[in-house]
Amino acid sequence: MTSEPRSHAEIEMEQFADRLRELREARGLTQARLAELLEVSPRVYNRWETGAAAPRLDTVVKLADILEVSLDELVGRTEPEEPQLRLHNPKLHKLYREIDRLSDEDQQALVILLDSLVKRSQMGQVLAG
């Protein structure tokens, strides 16, 4: 028994569903949380992410806004860009732009230092909570 070839629309829906899942996961959102932000039920959202249904255009626009991507990126017409780093501390922002100018050795030292600071902060949160 052979299966029928999939239509172009089915392939596009599958690609949209995959892109939606990838973008959601990259932003650390659960399906339930994204459904809440969109004001739809988790079941409805799950159907979009599995390709069983498609959201309305106004919802696609809202999805793009929440996920901070263009409509082209969301529907797969362009590859997703790396999310923009948002640093609220101006000095950190300035230093961040200089990282590429550091030697490989200094960049590795910076990675170790930042990793240690993050782990220390996480440990403090665990002990406090």
Report whether pLDDT(98) > 90: no
Same-domain pairing of 63 and 97 = no
Inter-residue contact 75 to 11 (CB < 8 Å) = no
Q: What pLDDT shows up at residue 102?
A: 87
pTM, 2 dp: 0.57
Question: How far apart are the C-alpha atoms of 121 and 109, rounded to whole Å?
Answer: 18
Residue numbers of the domain that contains 96? 90-128
One domain, residues 100 and 54: no
| Sign of the four-CA dihedral 94, 97, 100, 101 | negative
Identify the CATH number of the domain in which residue 64 sits: 1.10.260.40
CA-based nearest residue to 30, from 13, 15, 45: 45
Same domain, yes or no: 66 and 120? no
Domain check: are 62 and 101 in the same one? no
Indicate the number of domains in the chain: 2
Q: What percent of the chain has pLDDT over 90?
A: 44
Written as one letter, the residue type at 19 is R
